[in-house]
Amino acid sequence: MERAFWFSGSGDGELRPVTLPPVGDDDVLVRTLYTGVSRGTETLVFRGEVPPSQRAAMRAPFQEGDFPGPVKYGYLNVGVVERGPEDLVGQVVFCLYPHQTRFVVPASAVTPVPSEVPPERAILAGTIETAVNAVWDASPKIGDRIAVVGAGMVGGGVAKLLAGFPGARVQLIDVDPERAKIAEALGVDFSTPEDALGECDLVVHASASEAGLARSLELLAPEGEVIELSWYGDRRISVPLGENFHSRRLAIRSSQVGMVSPSRRLNRTYADRLALALRLLADPGFEVLVSGECQFRELPDVLPRLAANEPGTLCLRVTYQMEDTR
């Protein structure tokens, strides 16, 4: 019997049995190897903090149930195709599917993982896809002075993509000085907020905190722009639009992975963007964004600690073994 993890919507969850549907001619049966827990979004779901106004927008592609819960939720799944079209059988694939031991989806819903990308790293595809979209939205220029505030999964991914931008000064900023090790592995400079370099042309904010957004605005040069990547759930955030916000002609613009950036929308599809993210994961530097691991059967015990902001965790990798399906 297959099993899936369900969020209760009130701070806990459980493994439930699943009966798989028949595998149609255009479907694939996938055995899960790894899933990833996206700490920011999934812990908000775990705590039941998805606001009513955003419940439709927040639905995952293969979600079951409704917010606040019970709900089967998740979108970082890497597995191997056991049945389906001949060209996919045996392939390692990425799918926007929740935490489940095996699943059946249309073949068009899976993306082959390049052979040079380890399956255990490919769970980051959704995160790097978000980072790619953010960089497209930000449209950095050669020689820009850039800060990324928040050294979590998404912030770290954005910083890594910007690290090789020609002539750019890129600094990753976080309140936790231990995140300096992450910045070093990603190949970028690190600073705590109080010591960060100012006069930035561009700041990408990904700390999901009011203080982080305020500091992002403070770091901008005149006519600079903050790209807001944080998602706050049902929390209200105060934005300092007084002081020099108007006199320096500053700007705040949102970025969200749910739509392809307008700068690429005419010639890039969602599939193109995801395939690009997977190719980028051939770089082993991204591995630092995975900072914890547990077995699938341990999820009900591990997720409450993650949702309580257990320090030091970025992406939690969930591993699946054959005994999980028995």
Asked if residue 50 is part of any domain, the answer here is: yes
Least confident of 14-23, 36-45, 176-185: 36-45
Residues 313 and 222 in one domain: no
CB-based contacts of 237: which residues, under 8 Å, 6+ apart? 210, 213
Average pLDDT of the chain?
93
Asked if residue 104 is part of any domain, the answer here is: yes
The amino acid at 323: E
Q: At what angle do helices 39-46 and 153-162 cross, to 10 degrees?
A: 160
Q: At what angle do helices 39-46 and 299-307 cross, to 10 degrees?
A: 100
- Tell me which residue of 124, 17, 39, 45 sits closest to 77, measured CA to CA: 124
Asked if residue 72 is part of any domain, the answer here is: yes
**Single residue among 254, 271, 302 that ends a domain in this structure:** 254
Asked if residue 269 is part of any domain, the answer here is: no
DSSP 100: B
Asked if residue 261 is part of any domain, the answer here is: no
Asked if residue 259 is part of any domain, the answer here is: no
Residues 227 and 308 in one domain: no
- CATH code, 244: 3.40.50.720
Residues 34 and 117 in one domain: yes
Domain encompassing residue 26: 2-121+281-325
Residues 140 and 236 in one domain: yes
Residues 189 and 239 in one domain: yes
Asked if pLDDT for residue 274 goes beyond 50, the answer is: yes
* pLDDT confidence tier of residue 323, bands split at 50, 70 and 90: very low
* pLDDT confidence tier of residue 322, bands split at 50, 70 and 90: low
The amino acid at 252: I
What is the reported pLDDT for 312? 63
What is the reported pLDDT for 324? 45
Residues 15 and 89 in one domain: yes
Share of the chain above pLDDT 70, in %: 97
> Are 47 and 7 in contact, with CB atoms under 8 Å apart?
no
Asked if residue 163 is part of any domain, the answer here is: yes
> Are 10 and 70 in contact, with CB atoms under 8 Å apart?
no
* pLDDT confidence tier of residue 305, bands split at 50, 70 and 90: confident
What is the reported pLDDT for 161? 97
What is the sign, positive or negative, of the torsion defined by CA atoms of 133, 137, 141, 146? negative
Residues 211 and 149 in one domain: yes
What is the reported pLDDT for 80? 98
Query: What span, in angstroms and rounded, lies between the C-alpha atoms of 237 and 270?
Result: 30
Give the range with max mean pLDDT: 52-56, 235-239, 284-288, 318-322: 284-288
Residues 110 and 59 in one domain: yes
Q: At what angle do helices 153-162 and 125-138 cross, to 10 degrees?
A: 60
Average pLDDT over residues 42-65: 87
- CATH code, 101: 3.90.180.10
Number of domain units in the chain:
2
* pLDDT confidence tier of residue 325, bands split at 50, 70 and 90: very low
Residues 7 and 110 in one domain: yes
Q: What is the pLDDT of residues 234-250, one digit of tens each?
A: 788 899 898 889 999 99
Residues 158 and 95 in one domain: no
Average pLDDT over residues 195-207: 97
Residues 181 and 110 in one domain: no
Sheet holding 2-7, edge to edge: 13-18, 2-7, 71-72, 64-65
Average pLDDT over residues 62-77: 94
Average pLDDT over residues 275-287: 97
Query: What span, in angstroms and rounded, lies between the C-alpha atoms of 179 and 150?
Result: 9
SS3 call for 284 = helix
Asked if pLDDT for residue 50 goes beyond 80, the answer is: yes
> Are 172 and 314 in contact, with CB atoms under 8 Å apart?
no
DSSP 30-67: EEEEEEEE-HHHHHHHHTT---GGGTTTT--TT-EE-S
The upper half-sphere exposure of residue 71, i.e. CA atoms within 13 Å in the direction of its Cβ, equals 26
Residues 154 and 199 in one domain: yes
Average pLDDT over residues 192-210: 97
What is the reported pLDDT for 144? 98
What is the reported pLDDT for 62? 96
- Tell me which residue of 254, 24, 27, 216 sits closest to 137, measured CA to CA: 254
Least confident of 8-12, 115-119, 220-224: 8-12
Asked if residue 264 is part of any domain, the answer here is: no
Query: What span, in angstroms and rounded, lies between the C-alpha atoms of 74 and 123?
Result: 11
The upper half-sphere exposure of residue 287, i.e. CA atoms within 13 Å in the direction of its Cβ, equals 8
